[in-house]
Structure 1
Amino acid sequence: MHTFAVTERDVTSAWVAACNKLDRRDNPDRTGLHTVVRITDPLQDDAVFRTELDRLRAAHHLEPLETVANTLFPTALAARCTNHGELAERYRRMYPVLTRYPGNRLGTYFGRLVAYPGASKASIDQLGTVIDRLRTQTTGTKMAAAYEIDIAHPADGADEPQAEALVHAAGKDNSYRGFPCLSHLSFQLGRDGHVHAAALYRSHYMFERAYGNYLGLGRLLAHIAQQVGLACGTLTVVAGHARLDGPLTHLRPLLTGTGRLAA
């Protein structure tokens, strides 16, 4: 089994390191199992690098990285809202329209986080619950985290020392590929006043989705931290199956720092 764990400061460095771990002669199918990517400052990335990557993505008919990131956190909408409650409410009102767009038929990640499909017709704002729990913990006994298995309903265990958000809906998400590849999000409160996050993906396509996902997850983590009055901590992304997809001959110059991407 090919696997790896990398730790880097910013999104760009982490993505490059992960891709290079997959792009090895002893790994001909360019895949890995149970891979771990840890980003200590997930709000930072190289703008020049991102522009180059977007140029190549456009040549291969993929949406910009910002579009991918916005499925996890709608940055522009959040900037126009005064708090999380307003953001969640405005997004829920937009959600029926968003799901009409190609690729959004089953929903968006942020939609699952603020309007999780429960057993009843009422949806659940999981992020609001996470924010409330973390806010409570900062003023009382500081509980860091709990060991988790992704079977609990988000409304369960409100008094437990954990903050978690489910994306995968049992009985609803039955496809072998596609949305949602992100299964679970977990947030931990550090004693140093930072909020950290761990994301679990069943599969991760490095060229098609991963860089944009890292951006969106970092912004989501920063939003939660800001709402609670804490600092944004480390983002850890675990993929059950990771694949270095895309045009490798065009990607390698940037991955090795030897030149610009050639679309």
Structure 2
Amino acid sequence: MIVEGNSPAECWLKILQKILSRSGREISPLEVRINNVSIVPPYQKELEEDINNFLSKIRQPSIEKTAGTIFPQSLIGGKQSVYQRYEKIWSHIQKDHKNKRGTYFQRMTSWGRMSGDNINQLQLIVDTYKGVDGVRKGVHRRSALIATIFDPRIDHTHQPMLGFPCLQQVCIVPHDDEVMEMNAIYAMQYLSTRAYGNYAGLMRLGEFMAREMGLKFTHLNCMISTISLGDKMNKSEAEVLLKKYVQYVK
């Protein structure tokens, strides 16, 4: 099943509609394709407020907080890089028990830290693609433009519920040295609690990587093995929410 739209808000509502049209609470598999066309739907702010109110009620992180685990937009700017600024506040971020196994941005920018390594995969992707002045030319091999999150050394466990990481890897896909798409691969995604923030954070990461690589970001593609409504929202609540916005779902 494929869902396509021009914003995280549009895609989120389309997925909600598809889940509610089925007898169960899941879709497996699902591809979500978000076009990066800078369109802000007129209902987006109100929808985000409704989702955040629900998240607050069930004591789950807001859309913005979830998005920040993938890309910390607030750290962009200033003399220091986003990597340096994130490193400075990492000890504070890690104090939150939800981040005890890391965050997605932390795994992409200091992969393997928990097991002795410290690899900035995002910077390596940029350096690989653009090359290093006076040292070597850029290499555009697609298999080199991948950031891995899942670490089998610490993530393969026998725990019935792990919680993190659901996002497995991110792949940068350039076309003709002008534009790029980004693919994100998920083992599991929860629509009611995480999906909107996931899409927002990934769109920001795509924009960042495109700027760093001298390209234009055109599409985000999320390949999701299973997406669930989540056990925090019942179908009656979901139907009430969808009814409010169904006029916008085409």
Query: TM-score band, normalised by the shorter chain?
Result: 0.7 to 0.9
For residues 37 and 112 of structure 2, what CA distance do their matches in structure 1 show? Answer: 29
- Taking every aligned residue pair, what percent have the same amino acid on both sides? 23
User: Any conservation in 1 of the 2:130–2:138 contact (CA below 8 Å)?
Assistant: no
Partner of 1:68 in structure 2?
66
Partner of 2:83 in structure 1?
88
- Structure 1 residue runs of 5 or longer lacking an equivalent are 147-161
For residues 130 and 42 of structure 1, what CA distance do their matches in structure 2 show? Answer: 24
Aligned pair in 2 of structure 1 residues 116, 43: CA closer, same or farther (>3 Å)?
A: farther
TM-score normalised per structure 2? 0.84
For residues 62 and 42 of structure 1, what CA distance do their matches in structure 2 show? Answer: 29
The alignment partner of 1:171 has SS state of helix
Greater displacement, 220-229 / 210-219: 220-229
| Deviation readout 1:127-182 (Å, 9 max, x if unpaired) | 00111223249x97884735xxxxxxxxxxxxxxx300000001211244301111
Partner of 1:49 in structure 2?
47
One-letter amino acid matched to 2:207: A
Superposed counterparts of 1:1-263, under 5 Å? 4-24=1-21, 27-41=22-36, 45=40, 46-80=44-78, 86-117=81-112, 121-136=116-131, 143=140, 145-146=142-143, 162-173=144-155, 174=157, 175=159, 176-191=161-176, 193-245=178-230, 246-258=233-245
For residues 212 and 245 of structure 2, what CA distance do their matches in structure 1 show? Answer: 41
The alignment partner of 1:235 has SS state of strand
**Bigger fraction of residues in helix:** 2
User: Any conservation in 1 of the 2:115–2:153 contact (CA below 8 Å)?
Assistant: no
Aligned pair in 2 of structure 1 residues 43, 69: CA closer, same or farther (>3 Å)?
A: farther
TM-score normalised per structure 1? 0.80
The alignment partner of 2:200 has SS state of helix
| Deviation readout 1:202-251 (Å, 9 max, x if unpaired) | 10000110000000000011111111222122001111111012243233
User: Any conservation in 1 of the 2:185–2:222 contact (CA below 8 Å)?
Assistant: yes
User: Any conservation in 2 of the 1:186–1:198 contact (CA below 8 Å)?
Assistant: yes
User: Any conservation in 1 of the 2:130–2:139 contact (CA below 8 Å)?
Assistant: no
For residues 139 and 119 of structure 2, what CA distance do their matches in structure 1 show? Answer: 25
One-letter amino acid matched to 2:171: S
For residues 14 and 81 of structure 1, what CA distance do their matches in structure 2 show? Answer: 36
Q: CA deviation at 1:120?
A: 6.9
User: Any conservation in 1 of the 2:181–2:218 contact (CA below 8 Å)?
Assistant: yes
For residues 169 and 7 of structure 2, what CA distance do their matches in structure 1 show? Answer: 22
The alignment partner of 2:165 has SS state of coil
The alignment partner of 2:142 has SS state of coil
